[in-house]
């Protein structure tokens, strides 16, 4: 930046660090054009990130951590625990790079890649400021979703910011009995504590909450589960996203048959719960929900 005084350059050099990402590998889905990137970070770590094309524009699914320490049993991102948090600039760089590489403008962002955004709260918050600022990327907060596995302390912090983003909560089970077996975070904050936090969040922000529910055959896909789920969501203005469980080679979880997924949806509808089945994108390049990893060589 030769257009600013040397003294200021020196000061910036001492105080600031903008981390970039480098494309280490790139895979394009032959089915739907979804692009998965493996990015190399400044310290030699790796993360993955996905660019998806929808009718309404381009969406980038960003990672917020290298790895994840939440240990959900069905997910590939946390298999080797957490290596480190991403800096706000590293989260931002995933969007800038995907835009540049494809010569497009990214209109939507989902914080649904590798990592738990509320376990990296300060950088996620900073990222939300930068991505939405008109001098930043100018992507409106209404076009951004943040997904959490249920970090209640983070939901409380986030509600204080009162941002118009969409909060997605990965519920995946209607009872503590089932949730405890697949999501260790439930032992710290159980479903009641989580849903109470969602209610408080909604009272402050007045935003509809999205609940993610990954359907796993024989684990959480029964009619009883659908009925229990509908019961628990009473009093929350929400939408349920049903995600057929995506394959991860290290575990044996399977998605239910599509007819059973549709049945589950109709059981919810019968109880007045709005649910959609999430379209699987990038299935041929392991770019679907829960399939992102931190290692080179697995692409
Ligand atoms: N850590 C955050 C955001 C990233 S994961 C969270 O857990 O919410 C994005 C979504 O994919 C979450 O709802 C997550 O539970 C889900 N997911 C993880 N593994 C999956 C799998 N194998 N199949 C389908 N969905 C999965
Ligand atoms: Fe982490 Fe989310 Fe994967 Fe759970 S589902 S291990 S919180 S990335």
Q: What is the CA(169)–ligand 1 centre distance, in A?
A: 10
> Is residue 197 very low, low, confident or very high in pLDDT (cuts 50, 70, 90)?
very high
**Token pair 């697995």: residue:** 298
Q: What does the pLDDT look like over 201-214, one tens digit per residue?
A: 999 999 999 999 99
The arithmetic mean of pLDDT across residues 255-265, rounded, is: 97
For 261, the enclosing helix (H) or strand (E) is helix 258-270
294-to-49, 147, 174, 248 alpha-carbon distances in Å: 10, 19, 30, 14
User: Which atom of ligand 1 has the smallest separation from the CA of 248?
Assistant: 22
Domain boundaries, the chain: 18-295
Quick check: pTM over 0.85? yes
Residue 222 has pLDDT above 50, yes or no: yes
Query: Taking Cα atoms as reference points, which of 158, 75, 142, 74 lies closest to residue 113?
Result: 75
Can you tell me the mean pLDDT for 270-287?
91
Coil vs helix vs strand at 12: helix
pLDDT tens digits, 100-130: 999 999 999 999 999 999 999 999 999 999 9
The pLDDT mean for the chain works out to 95
Q: Which atom of ligand 1 is nearest to the CA of 247?
A: 22
pLDDT at 296: 59
d(CA 199, CA 146) in angstroms, rounded, equals 17
Q: CA–CA separation, 163 vs 119, rounded Å?
A: 18
8 CA → ligand 1 middle, Å: 43
Assign 65 a pLDDT band (cuts: 50, 70, 90).
Answer: very high
**Which entry of 61, 68, 238, 289 is annotated as an active-site residue?**
289
Residue 290 near ligand 1, beta carbon < 6 Å: yes
Residue 297 clears pLDDT 70, i.e. is over it: no
**Residue range 158-169: average pLDDT?**
98
Q: What is the mean pLDDT of residues 40-60?
A: 94
Residue 220, ligand 1, Cβ within 6 A: no
Q: Which CATH number fits domain 18-295: 1.10.10.10, 3.20.20.70, 1.10.8.10, 1.10.240.10?
A: 3.20.20.70
Which band of pLDDT confidence, cut at 50, 70 and 90, is reported for residue 299?
very low
pLDDT in tens, 134-146: 999 999 999 999 9
Question: Contacts by 180-185 with C-beta closer than 8 Å and gap 24+?
Answer: 181/73, 181/219, 182/72, 182/73, 182/74, 182/216, 182/219, 182/220, 183/70, 183/72, 183/73, 183/149, 183/150, 184/70, 184/71, 184/72, 185/70, 185/71, 185/72, 185/149, 185/150, 185/151
């Amino acid at each position: 930046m030769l257009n600013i005084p040397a003294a200021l350059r020196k000061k910036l050099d001492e105080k600031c660090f903008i981390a970039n990402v480098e494309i280490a590998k790139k895979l394009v889905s032959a089915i739907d054009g979804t692009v998965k990137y493996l990015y190399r970070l400044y310290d030699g770590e790796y993360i993955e990130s996905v660019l998806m094309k929808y009718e309404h524009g381009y969406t980038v699914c960003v990672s917020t951590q290298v790895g994840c320490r939440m240990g959900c049993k069905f997910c590939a991102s946390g298999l080797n625990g957490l290596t480190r948090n991403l800096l706000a600039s590293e989260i931002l760089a995933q969007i800038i790079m995907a835009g540049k590489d494809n010569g497009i403008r990214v209109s939507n962002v989902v914080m649904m890649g590798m990592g738990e955004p509320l376990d990296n709260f300060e950088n996620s918050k900073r990222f939300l400021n930068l991505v939405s600022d008109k001098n930043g990327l100018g992507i409106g907060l209404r076009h951004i979703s943040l997904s959490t596995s249920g970090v209640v302390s983070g939901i409380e912090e986030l509600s204080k910011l009162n941002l118009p983003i969409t909060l997605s909560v990965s519920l995946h089970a209607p009872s503590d009995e089932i949730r405890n077996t697949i999501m260790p975070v439930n032992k710290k904050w159980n479903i009641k504590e989580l849903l109470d936090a969602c209610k408080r969040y909604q009272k402050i922000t007045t935003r509809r909450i999205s609940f993610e529910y990954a359907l796993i055959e024989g684990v959480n896909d029964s009619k009883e589960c659908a009925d229990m789920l509908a019961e628990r969501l009473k009093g929350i203005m929400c939408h349920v996203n049903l995600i057929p469980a995506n394959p991860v080679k290290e575990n044996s979880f399977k998605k239910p048959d599509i007819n059973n997924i549709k049945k589950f949806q109709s059981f919810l509808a019968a109880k007045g719960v709005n649910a959609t089945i999430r379209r699987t994108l990038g299935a041929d390049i392991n770019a679907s929900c829960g399939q992102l990893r931190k290692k080179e060589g697995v692409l």
